[in-house]
């Protein structure tokens, strides 16, 4: 089995793993057909086209799911909506903070020569200053249209800032 | 039961109308219509979702992976026959035929 065919099989196996349940059967069907395609490159082009088709099908399923969720959200009472908005704001803020830390960690591994591990200001900048600026800007932008989300972002940002202040004071 | 009748869809319907009772495989359909997998499968998916096509896994020989097969449902057959006759002389049918003849759609 040539390299293009191996790649084609890997691509379609990945599609089976990643696709939502409704698209999985189709991805499996496309993978089975690989055995009957003459030519390694033809198999690879078949897999690339199939992967695109599965991706578009999955996107349709996801869009339908999110539309359904939005409809459910519309049917909720005001308190429920606010709670979900607040929680999603808080979650977004946490994700941004963790991404900042993750980015620093990756940079420290990829470029050990920079000595990011030992530079305190990089931690301060990547994990606190930049995320806090993002929180404030996004909270200001979202305040009028999505107040609960903005409040979630802002309160989580304040919580993280307090945590860091206490950490700096005690260490 | 809406299905956008693009020239490619007409090609697929025509391929299914040949020996309509038989089960057909994806790669064979691709070869017969000249459509690439990225064009063919979305059409098959839409047809199956609209109840025009039934799908089944072939109960193959032991040790050999099964293949996915397709054929018209009774509704699908009716739909295809109606639309094939409507499209036969129309611009859409001509475009589909032209695509095939010119080799502009290839597997």
Distance CA B28, CA B37 (A): 11
Chain B CB within 8 Å of residue A46 CB: yes
Place of tokens 């979900």: A84
Q: Residues B17, B81: contact at Cβ < 8 Å?
A: yes
ipTM > 0.85?
Answer: no
Distance CA A9, CA A30 (A): 10
Cβ neighbours around A42 below 10 Å, total? 16
* Chain B 12-41, residues with CB within 8 Å of chain A CB atoms: 25-27, 30, 36-39, 41
Mark yes or no for CB contact B36/A45 under 8 Å: yes
Structure tokens of A107? 């940079």
**Max Cα–Cα distance, chain A, nearest Å:** 69
Query: 3-state secondary structure string, A44-70?
Result: HHHHHHHHHHHHHHHHHHHHHHHHHHH
- Looking at CA atoms only, how far is residue A81 from chain B in angstroms? 33
Mark yes or no for CB contact B42/A56 under 8 Å: yes
Which of A8, A46, A54, A59 is best to mutate for the B interface (most B CBs within 10 A)?
A46
Q: What is the pLDDT of residue A81?
A: 78
Place of tokens 């293009």: A4
Q: Which residues of A touch B42 (CB under 8 A)?
A: 53, 56-57
- Looking at CA atoms only, how far is residue B48 from chain A in angstroms? 11
Of B25, B37, B107, the CB nearest to A50: B37
For A44, the closest chain B residue by CA position comes to B37
Which stretches does DSSP call E strand in B3-98? 24-25, 53-57, 68-72
Mark yes or no for CB contact A28/B68 under 8 Å: yes
Mark yes or no for CB contact B68/A25 under 8 Å: yes
Q: Residues A46, A37: contact at Cβ < 8 Å?
A: yes
Q: Is A113 helix (H, G, I), strand (E, B) or coil?
A: helix
In this predicted model, which residue has the larger pLDDT, B86 or A54? A54
Distance CA B7, CA B93 (A): 7
Q: What is the pLDDT of residue A121?
A: 78
DSSP B107: -
Helix axes A147-170, A78-110, angle to 10 degrees: 50
- Looking at CA atoms only, how far is residue B89 from chain A in angstroms? 30
Integer-rounded Cα Rg, in Å, for chain A is: 23
Q: What is the pLDDT of residue A78?
A: 76
Cβ neighbours around A161 below 10 Å, total? 14
Which residue stretches of chain A have pLDDT < 70? 73
Chain A CB within 8 Å of residue B68 CB: yes
Distance CA B50, CA A13 (A): 27
Structure tokens of B105? 């759609």
Distance CA A36, CA B33 (A): 17
For A34, the closest chain B residue by CA position comes to B27
- Summarised one tens digit per residue, pLDDT across range B10-67 is 999 999 998 888 999 999 999 999 999 999 999 999 999 999 999 999 876 777 788 9
Is 2.40.170.20 the CATH number for B7-101? no
Strands laid side by side in the B53-57 sheet: B24-25, B68-72, B53-57
Structure tokens of B72? 């018209």
Q: Residues A12, A27: contact at Cβ < 8 Å?
A: yes
Structure tokens of A150? 């903005």
């Amino acid at each position: 089995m040539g390299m293009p065919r191996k790649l084609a099989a890997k691509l379609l196996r990945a599609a089976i793993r990643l696709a939502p349940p409704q698209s999985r059967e189709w991805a499996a069907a496309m993978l089975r057909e690989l055995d009957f395609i003459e030519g390694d490159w033809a198999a690879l082009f078949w897999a690339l086209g199939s992967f695109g088709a599965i991706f578009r099908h999955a996107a349709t399923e996801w869009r339908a799911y999110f539309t359904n969720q939005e409809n459910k959200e519309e049917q909720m009472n005001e308190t429920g909506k606010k709670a979900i908005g607040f929680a999603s704001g808080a979650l977004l803020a946490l994700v941004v903070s963790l991404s900042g830390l993750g980015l620093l960690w990756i940079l420290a591994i990829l470029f050990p020569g920079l000595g990011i591990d030992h530079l305190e200001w990089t931690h301060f900048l990547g994990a606190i200053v930049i995320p806090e600026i993002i929180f404030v800007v996004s909270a200001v932008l979202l305040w009028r249209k999505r107040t609960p989300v903005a409040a979630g972002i802002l309160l989580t940002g304040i919580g993280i800032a307090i945590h860091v202040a206490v950490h700096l004071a005690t260490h | 039961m809406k299905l956008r009748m693009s020239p490619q869809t007409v090609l697929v319907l025509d391929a299914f109308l040949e020996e309509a009772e038989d089960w057909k495989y994806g790669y064979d359909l691709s070869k017969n219509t000249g459509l690439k997998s990225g064009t063919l499968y979305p059409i098959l998916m839409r047809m199956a979702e609209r109840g025009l096509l039934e799908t089944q896994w072939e109960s193959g020989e032991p040790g050999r992976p099964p293949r996915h097969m397709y054929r018209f449902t009774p509704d699908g057959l009716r739909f295809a026959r109606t639309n094939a006759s409507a499209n036969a002389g129309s611009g859409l049918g001509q475009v589909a035929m032209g695509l095939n003849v010119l080799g502009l759609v290839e597997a």
